Homo-oligomer: A and B are copies of this chain.
Amino acid sequence: MATAKTPRRRRTAEDARHEILAAAQRRLAEGGPEAIRLQDIARDLGISHPTILHHFESREGLMQALARSAIGALNDDVLRAISDPSRGTTPEAVLDRVFETLGGSGHARLLAWAALSDRAPASPRGDTPRPQQLLRVLGDAVHRRMLDEARAAGGRAPAREEADFSVRLVAAAMLGDALMGDVLNRLAGLPNDASVQRRFRIWLARLLDERLRRAVAPARRRRAKR
């Protein structure tokens, strides 16, 4: 009754795929993994569910496409957040942005879902292009910066692993945070407001910054352990 009868819209195959993926992502982000039903997505878009099958072969096809698209989008967004100098380049600012990007609007939830249902890029299926090593790139950047500072300060060259571990820690923490941040806050008895969130991120940024600095600092009096 509501829809009198829209004359039927025809998209390019690519557009259709995009719209469908977006709708699916919305549903997944809101309602959890079990909320992806072809009929619902179709209704959201005002199309019929066989159309989805037409574009993605099967529900499973849609799911895999969704997982891959999510990872790609995350990659882009994170990279953009990092290398956007217009909003500050201090570690604090960058970290804050990345946290925001990951937490805001379902990126992390999507990733978690992908991991949960083993649809994560477990075995690079050959077709995975280049996003594969986002963290690697970040590790490189951090390491390079450490090297620079070390040279400038006349300190010792830092181990590559130092940079990798830092990046890995932040990544894991952001995932956990985006996924269950509010729960964690509650469990920790912390108030659940934005200012705590921000202070936490700043704290973390400082923590790492300090650590990395000291990792390259010239060895003044290195108290020998034994």
Contacts and interface: CB of A to CB of B under 8 A. Distances in A.
Nearest to A124: B186
Contacts of A167: 188
Contacts of A70: none
How many chain copies does the complex carry?
Answer: 2
A179 B117 contact: no
B117 A32 contact: yes
A116 to B, nearest CB: 5
Determine which residue in A33, A173, A200 has the highest number of CB atoms from chain B within 10 A of its CB, and name it: A173
A72 to B, nearest CB: 13
A112 interface: yes
Contacts of A132: 186-187
A111 to B, nearest CB: 7
B34 A117 contact: yes
Interface stretch (A44-52, A79-87, A133-141, A144-152): A133-141
Contacts of A32: 33, 116-118
A188 B173 contact: no
Interface of A: 32-34, 109, 111-113, 115-118, 120-122, 132-136, 139, 161, 164-165, 167-169, 171-177, 179-181, 183-190, 199-200, 203-204, 207, 210-211
